[in-house]
């Protein structure tokens, strides 16, 4: 690309058009009029000698040239924004900034209260949007729509064998697993034996649209034959469903400890070894050197160690 022949302001319009595939929505995205966006599209078509967007029935779709521009244009814009938005020094007491954080629901109650308390005192002008983990979470981070994510160190949640190379991470806490049953379970009294564990119906959790649940992973490791009757989206739901049933729910120990005083349930160590999980903080490598981003990351790490 010859920069002396290209209006760099058109990059913003180009990114909006490639993302939205619609002139009206692209105009709304960058707060310009529809005629202005149409004019920008015409300039882009002239520059690339390609229509970029073509009609397909009632919709527009990207040409092969348009498709080839999606990732590099988005990445270029994000790098420019990160560079211009990065301050040599970061004073949390005075800076005005918004962060978006993805948090797996069962990790939030332990970690977010101390983080938000610190933010309100140390960074009164910083705002935080908290999102639930979803199948698109990694994509949102890759495209700069979210800054941080708190999740378990398990790429199979996203149907991946390993996390993408652009992901950076810090370990927050070890997550141990326990089995929760009804307090007056008719068969499980003082001990959860391997025989009872294998013969009783089970519950597990799996976020909507993501990969393996904990028990699915356990079966892959050789413990076959578990009778899974109920699957929920959140492990938080499981202890509330257990009372009055013969079900066994496998949940993070932290959830069980919080709910044991409130619900007619009991917790047991799993009779078969279930490996501990790791709670991790993840971010895109482009944010590595951003002082504000680094400050927020250190805040999460400190609060996790103290919670």
- φ, ψ for residue 267 (rounded to 5)? -120, 140
Say if residues 249 and 113 touch (Cβ distance below 8 Å).
Answer: no
Low-confidence ranges of the chain (pLDDT < 70): 1-6, 8, 81-89, 208-225
Q: How far apart are CA 156 and CA 256, in angstroms?
A: 24
Q: How far apart are CA 220 and CA 178, in angstroms?
A: 19
Length of the chain measured in residues? 307
- Cα–Cα–Cα angle for 201, 205, 206, rounded to 5 degrees: 135
- φ, ψ for residue 292 (rounded to 5)? -65, -40
- Cα–Cα–Cα angle for 97, 99, 101, rounded to 5 degrees: 170
Domains of the chain (ranges; CATH) run 3-81 (1.10.10.10), 97-165+284-306 (3.40.190.10), 177-275 (3.40.190.10)
| Residues contacting residue 139 through CB under 8 Å, at least 6 positions apart | none
Question: Hey, which residues does 168 pair with through a beta bridge?
Answer: 283
Please list the alpha-helical segments (H only) found in the chain.
10-20, 23-29, 34-48, 64-85, 108-122, 137-142, 194-199, 214-220, 238-241, 253-259, 291-306
Q: How far apart are CA 109 and CA 34, in angstroms?
A: 44
Q: How far apart are CA 202 and CA 197, in angstroms?
A: 9
**Model pLDDT, residue 183:** 95
Q: How far apart are CA 151 and CA 134, in angstroms?
A: 11
Q: How many CB atoms lie within 10 A of CB 152?
A: 18
**Model pLDDT, residue 24:** 87
DSSP structure string for 7-35: -TTHHHHHHHHHHH--HHHHHHHTT--HH
Q: What is the pTM of this model?
A: 0.70
Say if residues 258 and 125 touch (Cβ distance below 8 Å).
Answer: no
**Model pLDDT, residue 4:** 52
């Amino acid at each position: 690309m010859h920069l002396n022949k290209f209006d760099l302001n058109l990059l913003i319009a180009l990114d909006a058009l490639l993302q939205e595939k619609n002139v009206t929505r692209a105009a709304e995205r960058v707060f310009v009029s529809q005629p202005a966006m149409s004019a920008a599209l015409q300039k882009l078509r002239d520059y690339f000698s390609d229509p970029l967007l073509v009609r397909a029935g009632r919709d527009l779709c990207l040409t092969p040239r348009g498709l080839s521009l999606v990732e590099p244009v988005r990445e270029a814009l994000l790098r420019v924004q990160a560079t211009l938005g990065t301050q040599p020094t970061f004073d949390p007491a005075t800076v005005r900034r918004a962060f978006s954080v993805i948090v797996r629901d069962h990790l939030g109650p332990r970690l977010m209260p101390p983080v938000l308390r610190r933010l309100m005192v140390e960074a009164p002008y910083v705002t935080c949007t908290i999102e639930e983990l979803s199948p698109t979470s990694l994509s949102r981070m890759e495209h700069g729509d979210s800054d941080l994510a708190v999740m378990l160190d398990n790429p199979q949640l996203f149907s991946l064998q390993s996390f993408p190379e652009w992901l950076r991470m810090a370990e927050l806490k070890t997550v141990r697993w326990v089995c929760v049953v009804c307090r007056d379970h008719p068969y499980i009294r003082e001990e959860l034996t391997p025989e009872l564990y294998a013969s009783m119906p089970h519950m597990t959790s799996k976020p909507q649209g993501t990969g393996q649940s904990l028990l699915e992973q356990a079966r892959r490791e050789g413990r076959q034959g578990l009778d899974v009757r109920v699957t929920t989206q959140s492990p938080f739901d499981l202890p509330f469903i257990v009372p009055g049933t013969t079900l066994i729910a496998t949940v993070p120990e932290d959830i069980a400890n919080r709910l044991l005083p409130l619900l007619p349930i009991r917790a047991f160590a799993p009779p078969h070894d279930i490996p501990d999980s790791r709670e991790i903080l993840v971010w895109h490598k482009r944010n590595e050197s951003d002082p504000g981003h680094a400050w927020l990351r250190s805040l999460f790490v400190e609060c996790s160690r103290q919670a």
